[in-house]
Amino acid sequence: MDAVFALVDCENFYVSCERVFDPSLRDVPMVVLSNNDGCIIARSAAVKDAGVPMGAPYFQWAETLDAMGTAVRSSNYALYGDMSRRVMTELEAEALRLERYSIDEAFLTLPALAPDALRRQARRIQRRVRRRQGVPIRVGIGPTKTLAKVADERAKGHDGRYVCPTGDALAAVLRTLPVGEVWGIGPAYSSLLAEHGVTTAEGLRQCPDAWLRKHLTVVGLRVATELRGTPCLELEDAPAPRKSMIRSRSFSGRLYALGDLREAVATHAQRAAEKLRAEELVAGRLGVFVTTKKFGDPPHYSNAAGAPLRPATNQTPTLLDVAGTLLRAVYRDGPAYKKAGVRLQALRPEGTGQGHLFREDTDEDEALMAAVDRLNREMGRGTVGFAAAGVAGRRDWTMKREMRSPHYTTRWADLPEARA
């Protein structure tokens, strides 16, 4: 059966999640902040209308937002992750196939019905998610993923649903779409295209293949081909195995001493190792990076180093050891460090690939890790840890998250109460 793509996008997702559980937020402008309460990463309609851009630093807009009576929340990823799963379950019931594209977006395939029937189906999906989970969504439908994305953009002015037209009507739509708003065309490709006189999606569609291939790599060629209506990107309903994992945080203040950075890096390494074991993976490579702030006056300093792990492992002591060595290699005395992190790469499932002739993880190692994980799972994160990561409570580099909402759906103590 012929199928079309639909992109479903949750409107102002984090804001919408907060509003589901706190009705007093529904009629006021609202934003949700990134970690460290640094950037604005979700905005209600009123805040968007006021011209506050996505990703803007909060401190630059705090006064404006306050004057509007804006409610402000720190991000609560436990809540958003759980709400995302609920929404995806609803969408699954309405789709032929579904790909979870991000926490707040999914690609669906739908039977290739006439446009009117597709619009009705889009409306049904919107109502279902709204009624059962309280989250408003938009639905954009087209013959390729990229055109479904275009349709999703257009849906903003059309009750949150839009079916991509064909022929001249499509060309007319694409002529009004700035090329930088096309999925896959970022700032660098945008300005490169502009230098060659291409400023709209329609212009991109008409670029010669060879030129695209040369200047925008196969990525750009695929985008253009998809805009022409020929699918290049499949629906990925089986999630691809993860290839890398990053754990990092900005510090709420600045750090100078190697000892402080060592605690931060060790904490990230420890968390990454736990996550690795939870997903039954081992890492074949470990990287450590440090950086000073990105903005303001130079000098800035950032550095990174990596090393292979032989054999690939998920054992905390090994990762702490290697991370410590790499940190000494990237650390310089002097810079005001703002961020540090750990990256695990070359991930593969436990028990696959080559072992190591002289250094196998022993049963005792694995038993120890299993015991640590169980204690932390059952008694709360941080119950047992490694000394290298420092002692919770006396760390002075942990992040700021001063306005977080309760864990409504994932912690018993935070469950909302209903009163008659």
Beta-bridge partner residues of 111: 3
Contact 349, 280 (CB under 8 A): yes
Distance CA 252, CA 363 (A): 40
Least CB distance from residue 251 to DNA, whole Å? 8
Question: Which residues in the 144-173 window bind DNA by CB under 7 A?
Answer: 149
Count the site residues for DNA by CB under 7 A: 51
Question: Which residues in the 296-315 window bind DNA by CB under 7 A?
Answer: 296, 304, 306, 308
Asked if 72 touches DNA (CB under 7 A), the answer is no
Of 301, 113, 173, 147, whose CA–CA distance to 227 is shortest?
A: 147
Among 247, 274, 286, 290, the residue binding DNA under the rule CB under 7 A is 247
Of 85 and 120, CB closest to DNA: 85
Asked if 189 touches DNA (CB under 7 A), the answer is yes
Of 83, 82, 47, 81, whose CA–CA distance to 62 is shortest?
A: 47
Among 124, 127, 175, 242, the residue binding DNA under the rule CB under 7 A is 242
Asked if 59 touches DNA (CB under 7 A), the answer is yes
Contact 166, 186 (CB under 8 A): no
Asked if 184 touches DNA (CB under 7 A), the answer is yes
* x/- track of binding to DNA for residues 89-128 (CB under 7 A): ------------xxxxx-----------------------
CA dihedral (255, 256, 260, 261) in degrees, to 10, reads 80
Question: Which residues in the 346-405 window bind DNA by CB under 7 A?
Answer: 346, 399
Of 240 and 420, CB closest to DNA: 240
CA angle 278–281–282, rounded 5-degree value: 125
Of 65, 253, 222, whose CA–CA distance to 147 is shortest?
A: 222
Contact 231, 144 (CB under 8 A): yes
Distance CA 246, CA 294 (A): 19
Asked if 246 touches DNA (CB under 7 A), the answer is yes
From the list 87-95, 249-257, 377-385, 402-410, the region that binds DNA by CB under 7 A is: 249-257
Beta-bridge partner residues of 163: 141
Of 330, 324, 283, whose CA–CA distance to 303 is shortest?
A: 330
Least CB distance from residue 158 to DNA, whole Å? 19
Asked if 243 touches DNA (CB under 7 A), the answer is yes
Binding site for DNA (CB under 7 A): 34-36, 38-39, 41, 55, 57, 59, 101-105, 149, 182-190, 217-219, 240, 242-250, 254, 285, 293-296, 304, 306, 308, 338-339, 341, 346, 399
